[in-house]
Amino acid sequence: MQNHAMYLRKSRADMDAEAHGEGETLLRHEKLLLETAKKMKLNITTIYREIVSGDSIASRPVMQQLLTEIESGIWAGVLVVEVERLARGDTIDQGIVAQAFKVSNTKIITPLKTYDPTNEFDEEYFEFGLFMSRREYKTINRRLQRGRVAASKEGKFLGSRPAFGYKIVKIQGDKGNTLEIVPEQAEAVRLIFSMYTDGVIDPFGERRRLGIQQIARQLNEMRIPPARHDYWVKSTIRDILINPVYAGKIRWNWRTNQKRIINGEQVISRPRNDEYVLVDGLHEAIISDKVFAKAQEFIAMAPPAPVGYKNQIKNPFAGIIVCGICKRKMVLRKGSMAGNYKKKDYIICHARACSNVGSAYEYVEAKVLAAIRSWYGQYTIELEQKKAEPDINRIAIEKSLKLIETEIATLNKQQGNIFDLLEQGVYSTEQFLERSKNLSERIVSAKESETVMKASLSRHAESELASYQLMPKVKHLLDVYDSLPSAANKNELLKEIVEKIEYKKDKAATNHTGSPDDFELVLYPKLPSKNV
């Protein structure tokens, strides 16, 4: 008996209907498709449920999995409530879906019509349905965006996460949300603006403005908790100082998603938009317009970074070495001249509240290279041992996979039998649906186990392949590292073999106690291997 899959996905219209009490969409669709399967005597072995509503295949992981299986030819057909559930994305996404069904000769089955991709007329009808679905989606999306802009111009809050100092509340007697002040957090916001615009009184009795980093350090020392982290950092303080919501404004579309293709992959960035909406909000301001404007003047006066500064890699471990305590990326602090003596470069965690102690760059580099050499030697020996000995884990996984495949075959046979029992009157329609659902769930569970086993086998193969591909790269790095001309060259080679390096040091070394290289390093090579 040929196997069929069922694909269930909610649309925005379904979510709106559920909000008005019309019931759970996926359950209703599942029941409808099971009735269709019964009428057509189709063997449903897997039900795919997409719980996210995305306009592209990239944002729908279940659809990605289904397409992969369709392309491999394991399904005779896929049941959907309507063809529009398969693809509502752009022309490229629609083409991917149509091509997958056509190449694998997989049928698309709906309660109203079955589409045969090998039939020219069915193919045209299917593609036309996708085209009309895309037009409908664009119309709905334009209407939705217009509604959001109109709501923002009315001073309503549209975000899902409130700014620090506020909480989201429903507007009484109207649709939409607004913001309500959280008193304890609002006091911290006022303090931030006060320290930045008016300053504080220093020990000598003089008033002195604090910089953004100094404000973060001050708040951490005062034990004032931020919204989503354990301590304050510079970027969080700056975001607060430039956010007009604290002056009673609503800002919408300040950052918009922009899609670009880089190295063949779609990358989404969120640059600042000059044509954003800025209006008076319905919420109460925490600070005055005058204070906010003064803060913007000081921010504008801050010296800009040198041209190209951020793009210059000065640290060979940039983006690789992370703090073993707070998990933030660590940075290189260049040593300065002290008379005729130049202080050493240091690898440090820039989070002021973090207790991790930095170390001189030369000691970190030496220890990293020593660890890579050690790992290279050990892994080379392990590879030689694997060649000579049978892989016990692989054998066990292969045996488990055979048992699971036998179980799936048995369940498929049982599911085929229930159609005979339905025809003979042994099962009522309700009993058939219940039994069919039960078998489908057991098959789904077995298929999930099968997927896990196959993935495990695949990882074994990938690990072995990656080993032979990576080892020459590791040897090359060790051979040429000291002769590489720049930090960028070293960084590029390190990133080819290391996912990340965790660094941790509890106590600083002094002239009398401790060692300058008394710190812990954990290397994560780009292999499923033991940590070094």
The answer to whether residue 265 sits within a structural domain is yes
Q: What is the pLDDT of residue 184?
A: 92
Among candidate residues 301, 298, 182, the one with its CA nearest the CA of residue 246: 182
CATH number, domain with residue 190: 3.90.1750.20
Among candidate residues 287, 288, 282, the one with its CA nearest the CA of residue 180: 282
Q: Is the pTM of this model over 0.75?
A: no
306 vs 221, which has greater pLDDT? Answer: 221
Give bridge partners of residue 7 from the DSSP assignment: 48
Between the ranges 200-214, 269-283, 353-367, where is the mean pLDDT highest?
353-367
pLDDT tops 60 at residue 530: no
Same-domain status, 50 and 27: yes
The answer to whether residue 313 sits within a structural domain is no
Sheet holding 77-79, edge to edge: 43-50, 3-9, 77-79, 107-109, 114-115
The DSSP code sequence of 405-440 is HHHHHHHHHHHHHHHHHHHTTSS-HHHHHHHHHHHH
For residue 105, the 8-state DSSP code is T
Residue-wise pLDDT tens digits, 353-381: 788 899 999 999 999 999 999 888 887 77
The DSSP code sequence of 491-506 is HHHHHHHEEEEEEE--
Same-domain status, 144 and 122: yes
Among candidate residues 373, 380, 383, 331, the one with its CA nearest the CA of residue 523: 373
Final residue before a domain boundary, out of 122, 152, 182: 152
Q: Which helix (H) or strand (E) holds 47?
A: strand 43-50
Same-domain status, 458 and 516: yes
**Cβ neighbours around 301 below 10 Å, total:** 7
CATH number, domain with residue 98: 3.40.50.1390
Between the ranges 83-87, 176-180, 308-312, 504-508, where is the mean pLDDT highest?
176-180
Query: 492 is written with which tokens?
Result: 């590029």
Q: What is the pLDDT of residue 343?
A: 82
Dihedral of alpha carbons 299, 305, 308, 313, sign: negative
Q: What is the pLDDT of residue 180?
A: 93
Q: What is the pLDDT of residue 368?
A: 93
Domain count, the chain: 3
Q: Which helix (H) or strand (E) holds 109?
A: strand 107-109
Distance CA(135)–CA(497), nearest Å, equals 46
Same-domain status, 517 and 398: yes
Same-domain status, 10 and 96: yes
The answer to whether residue 173 sits within a structural domain is yes
Query: 511 is written with which tokens?
Result: 């002239």
When pLDDT is cut at 50, 70 and 90, the band that residue 268 belongs to is low
CA 210 to the chain's CA centroid: 36
Same-domain status, 84 and 220: no
Angle among Cα 33, 9, 122 to the nearest 5 degrees reads 65
Distance CA(404)–CA(317), nearest Å, equals 45
Same-domain status, 127 and 195: no
Q: What is the mean pLDDT of the chain?
A: 80
Q: What is the pLDDT of residue 392?
A: 63
When pLDDT is cut at 50, 70 and 90, the band that residue 192 belongs to is very high
Mean pLDDT in residue range 192-211: 85
Which residues form the domain of 210? 166-301
Among candidate residues 497, 478, 419, 58, the one with its CA nearest the CA of residue 259: 58
Same-domain status, 370 and 515: yes
Query: 315 is written with which tokens?
Result: 């640290």
Same-domain status, 142 and 173: no
Residue-wise pLDDT tens digits, 425-478: 777 767 776 787 788 788 888 888 888 888 777 766 655 665 666 778 888 889
Compute the half-sphere exposure of residue 65: CA atoms within 13 Å on the CB side of its CA: 15
Q: Determine which of 90-104, 151-165, 248-262 has the lowest per-residue pLDDT on average.
A: 248-262
The answer to whether residue 326 sits within a structural domain is no
166 vs 263, which has greater pLDDT? Answer: 166
pLDDT tops 80 at residue 515: no
Q: What is the pLDDT of residue 377?
A: 84
Query: 109 is written with which tokens?
Result: 């089955």
Q: What is the pLDDT of residue 378?
A: 81
The DSSP code sequence of 168-235 is EEEPTTSSSEEEEE-HHHHHHHHHHHHHHHT-EE-TTS-EEPPPHHHHHHHHHHTT---SSSSS--HH
Residue-wise pLDDT tens digits, 41-81: 888 878 888 876 666 777 788 888 888 899 888 899 999 98
Q: What is the pLDDT of residue 309?
A: 45
Query: 271 is written with which tokens?
Result: 């640059």
Final residue before a domain boundary, out of 284, 301, 318: 301
Same-domain status, 125 and 178: no
Distance CA(506)–CA(511), nearest Å, equals 17
**Which residue type, as a one-letter code, is found at position 81?**
V
Final residue before a domain boundary, out of 286, 301, 316: 301
For residue 329, the 8-state DSSP code is B
Q: What is the pLDDT of residue 195?
A: 92
Between the ranges 269-278, 353-362, 409-418, where is the mean pLDDT highest?
353-362
Mean pLDDT in residue range 306-328: 77
Q: Are 63 and 50 in contact (CB under 8 A)?
A: yes
The answer to whether residue 306 sits within a structural domain is no
pLDDT tops 80 at residue 1: no
